[in-house]
Amino acid sequence: MAKVKVRPFDSLIIVDMQNDFMPGGALPVPKGDEIVNVINEYISIFSKSNAFIVATRDWHPPNHVSFNTVGGPWPPHCIQGTWGAEFHPSLALPANALIVSKATRPDKEAYSGFEDTDLNMALRRRGVKRLFICGVATDYCVKATALDGIRLGFQVFLLIDAVKGVNIPPGSEERAVDEMLDEGAVIVSINELSI
């Protein structure tokens, strides 16, 4: 079996593991909470390799354009400073992880962790070459972040055992994975990584 060695110039990007995207939240991803433990295993691996750990989050103002209360497609979710915007309580983020807040403007949606954020600059400062992406939702923010990473010249790995999708409409999760593969992403799982 091929192995990928995790190095200091790699980055683990944990996408939107927030309460509102978990079962019981305002915009739940089915079984989203079931990947928390494997993400914590990835955090341990990347921490041991002194890699750069990043967690993105939706950080919406109360009147965000994406909310169905103002004509958008989604119920209000991940509103700044609320329980729903907090990370899942079992997510073991290290103290030195970079938190990237996205979709912070009321008038602009942003699915990608790169859109209107300093993520690209932060990765460049650290000399990061490869991104290992996990989290929710595969067919929205994970896909958008992965595709932007590829466009920006990073090598992108999708941690397939640590992503969950909304899959609305049905098949969108599979199509999202295919799209990432078509653009050059590589699929790996935890038993294919080494320190």
Nearest to 19 by CA among 81, 113, 89, 100: 89
Catalytic-residue membership of 102: yes
Mode of pairing for the β-strands spanning 4-5 and 193-194: parallel
In this prediction, residue 168 carries a pLDDT of 81
Q: Where are the domains of the chain?
A: 4-194
User: The whole model's pTM is what?
Assistant: 0.97
Active site (annotated) includes residue 33? no
CATH code given to domain 4-194: 3.40.50.850
Q: Which of 16, 20, 139, 148 is catalytic?
A: 16
* Contact predicate 71/123, CB 8 Å: no
CB-neighbour burial class of residue 191 (10 A; exposed 0-12, middle 13-18, buried 19+) = exposed
- Catalytic residue, chosen from 10, 141, 148, 164, is 141
Catalytic residue among 102, 134, 139, 143: 102
> 26-40: per-residue pLDDT in tens?
999 999 999 999 999
Is 141 annotated as catalytic?
yes
Report the pLDDT value the prediction gives residue 2, as an integer from 0 to 100.
Answer: 65
pLDDT digits (tens, 9 = 90+) for 137-193: 999 999 999 999 999 999 999 999 999 999 888 999 999 999 999 999 999 999 999
